[in-house]
Each structure stands twice: as C-alpha cells, then as structure tokens.
Amino acid sequence: MKSRIAFWNILKKDIKNYYLKPPNISWGIIFPLSWTLMQLIRSPGENILELLPGLMAMSVLFGTTSMLSVTITFERSGRSFERLLLAPISLNVMVLAKIAGTVLFGMFNAFVPIIFASFSTDLKGVNFGIILPAVFMIAVSSALMGLMIAVSANQVFEAQTFSNFFRFPMLFLCGLFIPISDLPLFLRPISYFLPLTYGADMLKSAVTGANTLSPVLSFGILLFFSVTLFLISRHNINRKWIL
C-alpha cells in the first residue's frame, strides 16, 4: 500500500517535471517528423506504411534511452536521487517507478508518427493488437538500456554521449533500414543481440506483414531481454549507488 503511493507519486512527479516539459515533448515529434519529410522528399512515391515501423521504433528509442539516463543522472548530480534510495521502498519499486514514466513517454512518442500517417494514408490494415505490445516492449527494453547507461554515467553529458553511442548503431543494425540479410556477415550476430531487432520485426508484422519471426516469439525474446537488463541494472545500482 505504502509502496503503491510512493510508486505513483514518483511516476507523477517525473511526468510533470520532465516528460511534459515542452523541449522534451518536441523531441518525440520533431525528430520523427523531420525524418519522415526527408524520406518523402528523397523518394516521393514511397508508401508511408513502409516507413512507419522504422519511424515508430526511432521515436520510442529516442524518447526513452536518453530521457531516463539523463533524468536519473540529473537527479543524481543534484543529489535529490538520494531521497529515492533512502525512501523505505524496495529498490525494485523505485526503479520500476522511474522506468514507468519513460515507458509511457516512449509509447506516446510512438503514436505521433501513427497520427501523422493517419492523415495521408489508410491505416485499416495495421494490426494494433500487435503494435501495442511491440511498442510497449521496445519502450521497456530501451528504457532499461537507458537505466544501464545511467548507472555507468556520472554526468548528464556522459549520459547523452553514451546513449547516442548505443542508439545510432542500433538503428542501423536492427533491420529497419537495412534488412539484416543485407548486412555484412560479421555484423549479423550483433543484430540478433539487439532488442530493437525484435521490436522492429514485430512492428513490421503489424504494419506491412514483412516480418521474419513470429510476433509471439519476438515478444518472448524481448521479455527475456528486459528481465535480464532489469536484473543487471538492479545489481549494478546496488553495487554502484550504495557505496
């Protein structure tokens, strides 16, 4: 009961203080929007639906990884984060509350491209029953990667640099823009170690049906990734933040 109150208030505070701030909201809108425009200008005839999975994955990725790592590093440098570590709630509840805000923010970002797409194309063929879990799992796994980054970074700029270090290679290796089968052989194993690869595959199955794995399998793999990342992060937090 007490944990529930703490969880809910940490989430509410983060949403109000960070995620609803205009500069942060714009990230989720401007970046995917400009990308879409760029793609459309480059190849005008292209079907927006073909672009949609990549756009959504990108929006989630950009909305989550850096948000969580930057906000946590920010709170740690101002030392208000100590309050969360000292609160009589379990580390699990605290970490989950921090992640929950980012996940919601990431999911919101994912729907921005969908809304834009709905103006210019018919979304009848899109399977939202798969989109929702796909977006959710991409958000969860990227938020957890953000958490891993937060644990290794000591300053906000470090957190930002680290997240870009992970994000850009991930985007190009996940099969959204270059099919994995076209990647050089030595890069392919890396692709299969990236959660985004499975999230992207789920999105493709929902939007264009051009997936390689069954969405259920991808979901399972993403779940496995997430639980592993969570356990690693929790272990690292225990080790690094409680000195």
Partner 1 sequence: MLSVANLKKTYGDFTAVNSISFEVQKGEIFGFLGPNGAGKTSTINMMIGLSRPTSGEVIIDGIDVRKQTKKAQSIMGIVADESNLYNEMNGFENLCFCAALYGMEKSEREAKARDLLEEFRLKDAGKRPFKAYSKGMKRKLTIAAALIHSPQILFLDEPTTGIDVESSRQIRKMIKALKEQGTTVFLTTHYIEEAERICDRIAFIAKGQIVASGTVLELMDSVSHGHSIRFVTSKFAENLTDELQSNFKGSKVTIQSDNTLIMESEERISLLPVMNFLYDKGIDVYEAKELRPSLEDVFVKLTGIESSVLTRDEKKGGRK
236: left (phi over 0), alpha (psi -120 to 50) or beta: alpha
Task: Retrieve residue 162's tokens.
Answer: 């680290």
**C-beta separation of 239 from 148 below 8 A:** no
Rg (the chain; Cα; Å): 18
Nearer to partner 1, 112 or 237 (CB): 237
Give residues 83-142 in contact with partner 1 (rule: CB under 8 A): 83-90
Nearer to partner 1, 13 or 118 (CB): 13
16 to 45: interface string for partner 1, x by CB under 8 A: -x----------------------------
Task: Retrieve residue 1's tokens.
Answer: 């009961």
* Candidate residues 79, 182, 185, 189; the one interacting with partner 1 per rule CB under 8 A: 79
The minimum distance between CB 156 and partner 1, in angstroms, equals: 14
Cα distance between residue 135 and residue 129, in whole Å: 11
The minimum distance between CB 229 and partner 1, in angstroms, equals: 24
Coil, helix or strand at residue 80? coil
- Quick one: DSSP state of residue 213? S
194: left (phi over 0), alpha (psi -120 to 50) or beta: beta
* Candidate residues 6, 107, 135, 206; the one interacting with partner 1 per rule CB under 8 A: 6
Nearer to partner 1, 23 or 209 (CB): 23
Task: Retrieve residue 109's tokens.
Answer: 């970002």
Determine the residue type at 80.
Answer: S
Q: Does 70 bind partner 1 (CB under 8 A)?
A: no
The minimum distance between CB 154 and partner 1, in angstroms, equals: 16
The minimum distance between CB 25 and partner 1, in angstroms, equals: 16
Query: Given the rule CB under 8 A, which of 72-80, 107-115, 128-136, 171-179 is the region that contacts partner 1?
Result: 72-80
Residue 193 CB coordination number (10 Å): 9
Tell me which residues touch partner 1 (CB under 8 A): 1-3, 5-6, 8-10, 13, 17, 78-80, 82-90, 242-243
